[in-house]
Structure 1
Amino acid sequence: MTLKPCIIVKILSMNVMFVVPYAPNLVRVRPFNFIRYLSRLGHRVTVLALWTTEQERIDLEQLRAECFEVRPVRLPRSQSLFNSLGALVRPEPIQAWYCWQPDLVSEAALREIQPDVIHVEHLRGALFGLRLKGYAQRLGRRVPVVWDSVDCISLLFRKAAAGSQRFISKLITRFELGRTERYEGWLITQFDRTLVTAPADREALQRLTPKNLTPDLRVIPNGVDLDYFKQDFSTPREPATLVMSGKMSYHANVTMVVNFVRESWPHIRAARPDAKLWIVGKDPTTEVQALGQDPSITVTGTVADVRPYLQKATLAVAPVAYGVGIQNKVLEAMACGTPVVSTSQAVSALAIQPGVEVSVADTPTTFAHEVVNLLNHPTRRHTQSELGRRYVQEHHDWVRVVKRLEDAYHVNPIHFG
């Protein structure tokens, strides 16, 4: 018997310095799962993160069980306010300075950790990446710095300036838009590789780049923990019940919820008087809380676990008017086997077929029609539930996503010296 030669590929463990300007947790799922799954794949991850609230400090303590080391640094609210005021007279946008805390990174930490790659999260963390890049050059270390922009913030500001219902949001985004565009366009020329969650964000950043430069931009989508978000077959779903989830102080979510209740909900209730709506998410604004005065609407505020609401609802709705990146609320509902009705904007970053994995509608009346249609057709709901869950398994499993992140870390430090 002749044995065929077997090639064993060994993935070398990397020493990752992971810098994030807030506490990774089950709400900030992207850095949280990057850290968890990088560690599970055998990499040594040292997290440098800021915290402001007591809950964020607790989150970072719990994160210690998921990686090699966590180095937390406190950022008082007063310092963020001071940073924001100071940014008003700087060329960089407020977002760039909002989380600035010089104690988070140091040359001594870089010497001690000896990273193979430095991962820096978000526009608010970019200054830390630039500082570490300077330390590495001074030490003669050829270490790549990868900036996870997550979203194109200037694209979000442009959409918010046009679509937000809140005057203060429109005012801030219009004030910050030009500065943010210039800053993002410059930043992507300073890091060895830039990551974003969606193709639209990559294209928006490319448009901001000087014409003589070709930035290294990669799309790494968000994933879903498929062991955590799954269908609960032991609990029956509530009849004719819709769920909307997300942080309810975020301007895009406030606009989404208020417009839906004002423009689509009356049509849905006219066709299905038994319909109920759950608005699930932390820090609801006064405007969102007021929606709960309608007996058919429940505004939960902060919940310990969003899964029971996703698993018990008949449908999830995501009538997103504007936004960037990937809508986690859509992926999490699909992973729970909950049929989703969304706008095109909410699924613009996904490779779905409208009407197959997700029902899509873009006007208040057609959105209401899609909701009522699904409420009235359980067979269609069942089919969409299965196809939606399968799509997430094939495209957004965190293990597959983080393997793409591993590959993105292998980049030459072109901005050296």
Structure 2
Amino acid sequence: MHSSQTYKKLVVFTSRFPFPLEKGDKLRAYHQIKELSKHYEVHLICTSEHKVEEKSKTQLDPYCASINVFPIGLIQKIFGSGRKIFTHKPIQVGYFHHLTIQWKVNKLLKEIQPDHIYCQLIRAAEYVKNYHECPKTIDYMDALSKGIERRSLTAKGIRKIIFNKEYKRLLNYENSIFEYFENHTIISQQDKQYIFHKNRDQIAVIPNGVDESFIGQHNNTPKTADIVFIGNMSYPPNVTAAQFIVNEITPLLKKEIKIKIAGSNPAKEVLKLAQENVEITGYVDDIKQAYQSAQIFVAPMFLGTGLQNKLLESMALGVPCITTSLANNALGAKPEKEILIADTADEFAKRIKRLSSNDELRNNIINNGRSFILENYEWSKVTQQLVELIKSS
């Protein structure tokens, strides 16, 4: 735990506890806190939908002067989401924001007296937007409205109506919440373009990074699969990607190809994909081994927003990647040099066949891809801009 009294006090506010690292927002918060703690006395305040185990808290203890977790119960979730239906605020803001927690947060902020507040995601912004005793930074992370809009295009019935309403509310909320914060950050240039505020040029692009444990790893893991896809397997864009691999790409390849789909909380739609040549692992203890156990990482991401951590990690580990234009727009890797791009099942199948049969191409993509990640996406490097942004306000 940070003991230095010379460091300025930084409150980091998140909507989920940043451990375990099975979701993108947790991963980003954890590594940013780790880096920020080298420059500030960090006080973590967060809400949590699930009980936070003590062993998870011990993972943050070395970086935080204090940790306060406010659980959100089932009744709170239902009531909070339900009452937003009759307002102009997004449902997910109501899901995370509750007056009983707000009172406790107000009391805590009064006690801590922070020099700066760093708030992750707009759904947590309600808790700190009206605190004006210090400067504040909002991390949009990604354009949530755009992600919901994309999901609305494929939704049907009542879900389509709900997604359409939520999209419009998120769009307005992303715009209005801008005014409450001095600094604004986002994960990619692509997402920045979907925040429709007149001063969006002021939003700083601060990408995600890769943990140093992924860098310089020798790929000696036995290859037990031809293709791997990894992610939180209850997240709709990942579910869609897994279905696309098995149902659309695989029929265009030779029958004996082996597919591994790894990641926590697989949805029932994902579990249904399991067959002789398709392994659904669920949560894995060693995610690095899961990446490296396959010849190729395939990520057909057609939904969602932000920068895909899965691409950063697989490229850092020396696993060649094939992904969509949408995903690579945020990443910025050079097609045919550091990554391969495909936007249809036929294109994915062709790229997989090329990588499997062309050793020179494969080695070039591996080596160039790893170099690209090392140069651009180490956590210590990408978080330095955030450190400077907070220091300057």
TM-score of the pair, normalised by structure 1: 0.86
- Equivalent in the alignment of 1:119: 118
1:282-361 → structure 2 map (5 Å cutoff)? 282-292=264-274, 294-361=275-342
Instruction: Report the Cα distance in structure 1 between the residues aligned to 2:233 and 2:159, rounded to whole angstroms.
Output: 14
Instruction: Report the Cα distance in structure 2 between the residues aligned to 1:64 and 1:76, rounded to whole angstroms.
Output: 25
Q: 2:226 aligns with which of 241, 245, 249?
A: 241
Q: Using the TM superposition, give the Cα deviation of residue 57 of structure 1 relative to its aligned residue in structure 2, in angstroms.
A: 5.9
Structure 1 segments unaligned to the other structure (5+ residues)? 1-11, 413-417
Q: Using the TM superposition, give the Cα deviation of residue 65 of structure 1 relative to its aligned residue in structure 2, in angstroms.
A: 2.6
- Equivalent in the alignment of 1:194: 184
Answer yes or no: is the 8 Å Cα contact 1:148–1:194 preserved in 2: yes
Answer yes or no: is the 8 Å Cα contact 2:214–2:313 preserved in 1: no
- Equivalent in the alignment of 1:150: 141
Answer yes or no: is the 8 Å Cα contact 2:233–2:270 preserved in 1: yes
Kindly provide the amino acid, as one letter, of the partner of residue 43 in structure 2.
T
Structure 2 segments unaligned to the other structure (5+ residues)? 1-5
- Equivalent in the alignment of 2:204: 218
1:360-379 → structure 2 map (5 Å cutoff)? 360-379=341-360
Kindly provide the amino acid, as one letter, of the partner of residue 239 in structure 2.
V
C-alpha spacing 1:400/1:376, structure 2 compared with 1 (3 Å): same
Q: 1:274 aligns with which of 243, 256, 262?
A: 256
Instruction: Report the Cα distance in structure 2 between the residues aligned to 1:258 and 1:379, rounded to whole angstroms.
Output: 30
- Equivalent in the alignment of 1:7: none
Q: Using the TM superposition, give the Cα deviation of residue 327 of structure 1 relative to its aligned residue in structure 2, in angstroms.
A: 0.7
Kindly provide the amino acid, as one letter, of the partner of residue 202 in structure 2.
D
Q: 2:89 aligns with which of 85, 89, 92?
A: 92
**How many residue pairs end up in the alignment?**
382
- Equivalent in the alignment of 1:33: 31
SS in 1 for 2:30: helix
C-alpha spacing 1:55/1:13, structure 2 compared with 1 (3 Å): closer
Question: Which structure has the greater CA radius of gyration?
Answer: 1
Of residues 46-55 and 361-370 in structure 1, the stretch that sits farther from structure 2 once superposed is 46-55
Q: Using the TM superposition, give the Cα deviation of residue 173 of structure 1 relative to its aligned residue in structure 2, in angstroms.
A: 1.6
What value does the CA root-mean-square deviation take over the aligned residues? 2.1
Q: Using the TM superposition, give the Cα deviation of residue 112 of structure 1 relative to its aligned residue in structure 2, in angstroms.
A: 2.6
SS in 2 for 1:348: helix
Answer yes or no: is the 8 Å Cα contact 1:60–1:72 preserved in 2: no
C-alpha spacing 1:398/1:214, structure 2 compared with 1 (3 Å): closer
1:13-162 → structure 2 map (5 Å cutoff)? 13-25=7-19, 26-27=21-22, 28-39=26-37, 41-55=38-52, 58-101=55-98, 102-103=100-101, 105-131=104-130, 133=131, 136=132, 141=133, 143-162=134-153
Instruction: Report the Cα distance in structure 1 between the residues aligned to 2:156 and 2:30, rounded to whole angstroms.
Output: 31
SS in 2 for 1:106: helix
Kindly provide the amino acid, as one letter, of the partner of residue 358 in structure 2.
H
Q: Using the TM superposition, give the Cα deviation of residue 62 of structure 1 relative to its aligned residue in structure 2, in angstroms.
A: 2.8
Q: Using the TM superposition, give the Cα deviation of residue 113 of structure 1 relative to its aligned residue in structure 2, in angstroms.
A: 1.8
**Dislocated runs of 4+, deviation >4 Å:** 55-58, 165-169
Q: Using the TM superposition, give the Cα deviation of residue 329 of structure 1 relative to its aligned residue in structure 2, in angstroms.
A: 0.9
- Equivalent in the alignment of 2:385: 404
